[in-house]
């Protein structure tokens, strides 16, 4: 007669829950130019959402990476799909598409800069 002495199976850890975040940078230093950067993403925390914003707009190893140190303080984080905050920058049809695809969308990013002077 043999006895099984293997350890009992370990439960699999529960994966972290992904939450939807809307991140917006709306920056106009001198009033002549304006930079708008948006990100709608799913992340496990606000910090993780900010890291995704950095990856989308200020990726390491690129000339824009140095800007993150300055601009990160201007990013507002909304812990949901914040349609009201996005409305000035995104067409209603785009908001509708985001609403309907959020279960599958990992990232929607937009960068817009203009300077009329």
Gap between the Cα atoms of 27 and 43, Å rounded = 24
Q: What pLDDT is recorded for position 16?
A: 74
- pLDDT tens, residue order, the chain (117 aa): 566 677 777 777 766 789 999 999 999 877 788 999 999 999 999 999 999 999 999 999 999 999 999 999 999 999 999 999 999 999 999 999 999 998 777 899 999 998 887
Per the rule left: phi > 0, alpha: psi between -120 and 50, beta: everything else, 61 is left
């Amino acid at each position: 007669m043999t006895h099984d002495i293997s350890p009992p199976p370990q439960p699999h850890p529960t994966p972290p829950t992904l939450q939807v975040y809307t991140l917006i940078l709306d920056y106009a230093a001198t009033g002549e130019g304006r930079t708008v950067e948006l990100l709608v993403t799913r992340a496990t925390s606000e910090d993780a959402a900010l890291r995704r914003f950095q990856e989308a707009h200020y990726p390491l190893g690129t000339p824009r990476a140095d800007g993150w140190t300055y601009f990160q303080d201007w990013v507002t984080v909304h812990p949901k799909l914040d349609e009201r905050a996005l409305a000035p920058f995104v067409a209603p049809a785009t908001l509708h598409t985001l609403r309907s695809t959020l279960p599958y969308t990992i990232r929607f990013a937009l960068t817009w800069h203009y300077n009329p002077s």
